[in-house]
Amino acid sequence: MAEVVILDSPKTIASLAADAVVSLLADKPTAVLGLATGSSPLALYDELVRRHRAGEVSFARAKAFMLDEYVGLSDSHPERYRNVIEREIASRVDFEPGAVAGPDGNAADLKAACAAYEEAIRAAGGIDLQILGIGSDGHIAFNEPSSSLSSRTRIKTLTQQTIADNARFFGGDEAAVPRHVLTQGLGTIMEARHLVLMALGRSKAEAVHQMLEGGVSALWPASIIQFHPHATVLLDTGAASRLQLTSYYRHVYAGKPAWQQL
Ligand code: F6R
């Protein structure tokens, strides 16, 4: 099963996730990271920047791949995920130019761009640690309900729920949210060696419950992580509020040996 850790504050969640990234880079400076956008990882990115400035971690030899990208936002649009990642993390630490890649949502041939992205991940040796959020409809990356559980990077249509959820990044205007995205598939994500998923707030509670405790199903695409050999799920109490086995998760984490990392 996934390791489920329920914590009191976004800050503690960010700090634990940062520990995982920092210790990976200490062991393997050339590690390949998978970066999510959205609000869930923002505190983690701030914490990584803080540790980088404190001299505790370097990304100079690392590479990173983004999870997804909107189709059709202009290159300079502030919500284009490539720009979001640049702003929130890439430009604030010491990645080499070109070390952070994302699917090209403006490619003339989107299908070819998806295939090229898969190939780039493969050529880099695969993703060591994939940071994930979860949508309130149970998506990871932009694998919306009904996604193939073995899908690869491809074009998807956002659900009405995700459009409504993401309108907050577009001044509250649902009409401004692109309908289409390029996203790593569930099969792509499942090949990352360690998944670290963060979820905050009650709006994620049902999706988190279905992901961890429901049946594995295309209706709740994140449930595929039940098959992952090394998945860590970091939750605040709101996101954990519909879980059935809360006391067991707390018991397991409280008894975890000090030497065992996430
Ligand atoms: C973003 C992504 C999405 C988000 C999810 C949650 O790259 O892949 O799956 O992680 O929509 O978004 P937030 O964190 O904004 O609640």
| Tens digits of residue pLDDT in 207-223 | 999 999 999 999 999 99
Predicted pLDDT at 19: 97
139 lines ligand 1 (CB under 6 A): yes
DSSP β-ladder status, 180-183 and 68-70: antiparallel
For atom 11 of ligand 1, the residue with the nearest CA is 135
Mutate to test the pocket of ligand 1, among 33, 35, 37 (most ligand atoms within 8 A of CB): 37
Is 1 a residue whose pLDDT tops 80? Answer: no
For 32-56, what is the mean pLDDT?
Answer: 98
Torsion angles phi and psi, residue 46, rounded to 5: -60, -40
Question: How many other β-carbons are positioned within 10 Å of the β-carbon of residue 46?
Answer: 16
178 Cβ contact list (under 8 Å, min separation 6): 70, 71, 72, 73, 158
Atom number in ligand 1 closest to CA 162: 11
For atom 1 of ligand 1, the residue with the nearest CA is 37
Cβ(229)–Cβ(198) under 8 Å?
Answer: no
Predicted pLDDT at 57: 98
Q: How far apart are CA 64 and CA 33, in angstroms?
A: 5
Ordered by start, the domain boundaries in the chain are 3-254
Q: How far apart are CA 220 and CA 224, in angstroms?
A: 8
- Asked: is 3-254 a CATH 3.30.420.60 domain? The reply is no
Predicted pLDDT at 260: 85
For atom 4 of ligand 1, the residue with the nearest CA is 133
For atom 8 of ligand 1, the residue with the nearest CA is 141
Instruction: Kindly report each contact of residues 122-126 with a partner whose C-beta sits within 8 Å and lies 24 or more positions away, as own/partner.
Output: 124/32, 124/63, 124/65, 125/32, 126/32, 126/191, 126/192, 126/193
Predicted pLDDT at 258: 85
Q: How far apart are CA 142 and CA 153, in angstroms?
A: 10
147 lines ligand 1 (CB under 6 A): no
Max Cα-Cα span within the chain = 53
CA of 25 to the centre of ligand 1 (A): 24
Q: How far apart are CA 37 and CA 44, in angstroms?
A: 11
Residues belonging to the active site: 68, 137, 139, 144
pLDDT, one tens digit per residue, over 107-161 is 999 999 999 999 999 999 999 999 999 999 999 999 999 999 999 999 999 999 9
Its pTM surpasses 0.75? yes
For 12-38, what is the mean pLDDT?
Answer: 98
